[in-house]
Amino acid sequence: MSWLNMLGPLEWAILGSLPGLLVALYFLKLRRQPLVVPSTYLWTKTLEDLHVNSLWQRLRQSLLLLLQLLLLLFVILAVLRPGCQGTDLVGDRFIFLLDHSASMSATDVEAGTRLDEAKRKISQTIERMKPGDSAMLIAFSNRAQVIQSYTRNKSLLKKKLESVEQTERGTDLTEALTAASGLANPGRTSTEETDIQVADSLPAKLLIYSDGGVNEIPDFSLGNLTPEYFPIGGLEPPRNAGFTAFALSDESGADRRMELFAQLRNSLDTGRTVNVSLFVEGKLFDAQAEIQLDPGQAKGVSFDLTALAGSIDQPQQLKLQIEEPDDYLQDNVVYGILNPPRPAKLLVIGPGNDYLKVALQTEAIVRQAEVRFESRNFLETPEYETDAALGTFDLIVYDDCTPAKLPQCSTVFVGRAPPGDSWKFGPRQFPTVIANFDQSHPLMNSLQLLKLSIVESAPLEPPAGATVLLESTDGPLMALAPRESYQDLVISFPLAELQENGEFSINTNWPSQLSFPLFVQNLVSYLSGGARYFTTEVSSPGSIVRLRVPPTVEQIRITNPANQMETLRRGSDQSFSFSGTERAGWYDARAEGKKELELPFAVNLLDPRESDLTVRDKLEIGHEEIAGQRSIEPARTEFWRWLVILALAVLLMEWLVYNRRLAM
């Protein structure tokens, strides 16, 4: 039992003087009504009899006073707000944020998985909700899903809670917080004169059940949300070693090595030894035993797949697996697809520059790319438009010409700026003196350009984020800039310019140097990818995979790791987008067209944050730091309402006594 003082000294003085005042009033008050009677003889005799038990009489006389004093006592006690620790929750509106990201599948808790433990805790909290309390349930991974909007129905909440399933996604709390604050912090419409709140804000208690492995949320104001964070996870540090990175590397050099790289990380604070096996099409292909992992450290492993890559004509399913089970199994396996080599597709549009033609027909390039030459008129044809929109080519070289808009592939512009405002050419300068070039960049690998002579060139103004590869004393001459998943290379000087008489005038001596064919070769292998084995990048669960297929393909059938088939049709942007990548594993995609096309891809989480199973003891949201608590703070059970009811009952009794005295 504890007391909360509600009043200040002055108010206490006033309240404390009331009983004395009441007693004083009671004595002053007793002004009896005079009444003439024929004789007080019998009354005197009656009172004489009654005086025998006069003490009781006195009490009876002052029963009203006693009741009034009792009433005051109850009021004073009620003002003191007695109470004790109860079981009800504080607040009347709750938002449960349930983390069902991949790391919640860790089994370092008693209840089974961390998700089960979180569900159990939420269920207990729902049980303790008072009648009239409302709650909503949001499950979040790297996206948020409102499982149940505000309701007072506890059984519905529990039913919906049970329906939340484990995902294999990463964690992003931002969307969940945005969804939660939608009702608590309604938006405002402001104009210059007014600032109007759109709706009434509904403050709520935000109960976050997570292992704390969430992204940083620097700019988020909780506003009317009162956050509480309940870390879910075992008390002991979890045992986990897992893959955090995976790559297939195609060294498209002369020796054509194909390697698989993976990064292993041990999140345990003691060292650990693991065995890693590589399976190809379900059969053990290679293994590395006794890999020593230092605590908290990452270590790389690599497998040579060159022999395998050279001998396949079908995509191969790769699986890399840690043999030792631990608390979190999802990151113990990583999936990959090894595609048979496919030559890159190049399109060269220009006036028919022989230097380029010659350079693109060397043996090294023919081995890894199919090159097609077209005149500048080809830009006007519908075929070009379709190919450009669908990304049929891996690289398009625009020699002294500009398309109406940039195609869906990487580009090289020679002597002309790309369409749009991002690239700018300055006025042509004569002569051009080479000042510097970036020899470390793969495109400039093994090139010697300082002896290059250029007649005229326009200094470039590349967009932000571009890499300048070649610079003259007047400004950049060659720059590489990323665009979506593509790259644009712009060379600001033409190799040769077509004169009005139909002949080419030479602008540079570069084509006659040894560095030119090497540069073109670098261009093809770097920008078009060369002949690639690993055609699709590794996607993470929940991400959208775009499949590039020839325009003749009408639909694609995709079979997910659970053997469920889905048929994709061409979207409004003519591409195929697949969003059903909920689970890690191999996805088998088959395009139906004139000939069947296999486009398998693999989905892996590979998230170091998810693999780090350490339970964070606090969350940082915006500028607020929320310390984790193991159990929810119960509400104080207040007794003052009962005291007020008692006081009212006493008042009623007093009224009855008063009336009985008068009525009879």
Partner 1 sequence: MKVQPSTATLLPPQLLAQLERMELVSRKIFRGRMKGERRSRRKGQSVEFADFRNYVPGDDLRFIDWNLYARLDKLFLKLFQEEEDLHFYALIDCSPSMDFGEPSKFLYARQLAAALGYIGLCRSDRVKIEPLGLPVARAAPALRGRGSLWRMLSYLEQLPCSGTTDLTAAVKSFCLRNAGKGIVVLISDLMDKNGYESALRALIARDLDVYVIQVLSQAEIDPDLKGDLRLVDVEDQAVTEVSVSPRLLDKYRRTLATFIETARAFSARRGISYMMTSTDRPVERLISRYLRQRGLVR
Q: Which residue stretch of 35-43, 244-252, 315-323, 541-549 sits at the interface with partner 1 (rule: CB under 8 A)?
A: 35-43
Q: Please say whether the beta carbons of 207 and 228 come within 8 A.
A: yes
> Is residue 58 part of the contact set for partner 1 (CB under 8 A)?
no
Residue 51 touches partner 1, criterion: CB under 8 A: no
Q: Which of the stretches 24-32, 236-244, 521-529, 610-618 binds partner 1 when contact is defined by CB under 8 A?
A: 24-32
In the complex, minimum distance from the CB of residue 19 to partner 1, in angstroms, rounded to a whole number: 22
Spatial neighbors of 630 by CB under 8 A, at least 6 apart, are: 230, 231
Q: How far apart are CA 371 and CA 383, in angstroms?
A: 16
**Residues in contact with 284: Cβ distance below 8 Å, sequence separation at least 6, in sequence order:** 277, 278
- Within 8 A by CB and 6+ apart from 55, the residues are none
- Work out how close the CB of 49 gets to partner 1 at its nearest, in angstroms, rounded to a whole number: 6
For residue 204, the cross-strand partners are 225
How far apart are CB 20 and partner 1 at their closest, in Å?
Answer: 22
Binding status of residue 656 toward partner 1 by CB under 8 A = no
Among 1, 10, 35, 562, binds partner 1 (CB under 8 A): 35
Residues 527-556 vs partner 1: string with x where CB under 8 A? ------------------------------
How many Å apart are CA 376 and CA 630, to the nearest integer?
70
Q: What is the 3-state secondary structure (H, E, C) of 101-116?
A: CHHHHCCCECCECHHH
383: enclosing H helix or E strand: helix 382-390
Residue 519 and residue 365 in contact, taking contact as beta carbons nearer than 8 Å: no
> Is 382 a binder of partner 1 (CB under 8 A)?
no
Q: Looking at residues 95 to 134 of the shown chain, list those that interact with partner 1 (rule: CB under 8 A).
A: none
Residue 55 touching partner 1 (CB under 8 A):
no
The CA-atom distances, in angstroms, between 430 and each of 107, 456, 474 are 70, 5, 10
Q: What is the DSSP code (8-state) at residue 376?
A: G
By CB under 8 A, name the one of 2, 10, 28, 41 that touches partner 1.
41
CB-nearer residue toward partner 1: 9 or 34: 34
In 3D space, the residue among 100, 187, 103, 185 whose CA is nearest the CA of residue 147 turns out to be: 100
Q: How far is the CB of 47 from partner 1 (least distance, A)?
A: 7
Q: Minimum distance from CB of 71 to partner 1 (Å)?
A: 20
| Residue 537 and residue 355 in contact, taking contact as beta carbons nearer than 8 Å | no
- Shortest spacing between CB 203 and partner 1, in angstroms: 55
d(CA 487, CA 322) in angstroms, rounded, equals: 36
Nearer to partner 1, 1 or 662 (CB): 662
Applying CB under 8 A, the site for partner 1 has a residue count of 27
Residues linked to residue 337 through DSSP beta bridges, in sequence order? 317
CB of residue 12 to partner 1, shortest distance in Å: 34
Least gap, CB of 70 to partner 1 (angstroms)? 20
Neighbour tally for 9: CB within 10 Å: 7
What is the per-residue binding string for partner 1 in 339-358, x denoting contact by CB under 8 A? --------------------
Asked if 45 is part of the footprint of partner 1 (rule: CB under 8 A), the reply reads: yes
From the list 9-17, 26-34, 291-299, 627-635, the region that binds partner 1 by CB under 8 A is: 26-34
Please identify, using beta-carbon distances, which residue of 35 and 464 lies nearer to partner 1.
35
- Whichever of 6 and 47 has its CB closer to partner 1, that residue is 47
C-alpha torsion sign, points 504, 508, 510, 512? positive
Closest CA to 67 of 649, 660, 659: 649
Binding mask 451-490 for partner 1 (x = CB under 8 A): ----------------------------------------
| Of 32-40, 253-261, 371-379, 580-588: span binding partner 1 (CB under 8 A) | 32-40
Start-end of H helices in 128-164: 154-162
- Give the residue with the Cβ less far from partner 1, 51 or 569: 51
Q: By C-beta, is 48 or 110 nearer to partner 1?
A: 48
Q: Is residue 40 at the binding interface for partner 1, with CB under 8 A as the rule?
A: yes
Examine residue 61 and tell whether it contacts partner 1 (CB under 8 A).
yes
Check binding of 655 to partner 1 (CB under 8 A).
Answer: no
Do 93 and 203 form a contact (C-beta atoms < 8 A)? yes
For partner 1, which residue of 8, 20, 27, 49 counts as binding (CB under 8 A)?
49
Q: Check binding of 664 to partner 1 (CB under 8 A).
A: yes
| Tokens of residue 628, six digits | 């984790």
Q: How far apart are CA 243 and CA 265, in angstroms?
A: 6
In angstroms, the CA 386 to CA 370 distance is: 19
| Position 43 contacts partner 1 (CB under 8 A) | yes
- Reading the block at residue 186, the tokens are 């309604």
HSE-CB at 601 with a 13 A cutoff on CA atoms is 26
198 contacts partner 1 (rule: CB under 8 A)? no
Q: Which of 9, 28, 39, 363 binds partner 1 (CB under 8 A)?
A: 39
| Torsion angle defined by CA atoms of residues 208, 211, 212 and 214, in that order, rounded to the nearest 10 degrees | -100
Contacts with partner 1 by CB under 8 A lie at: 30-47, 49-50, 60-61, 660-664
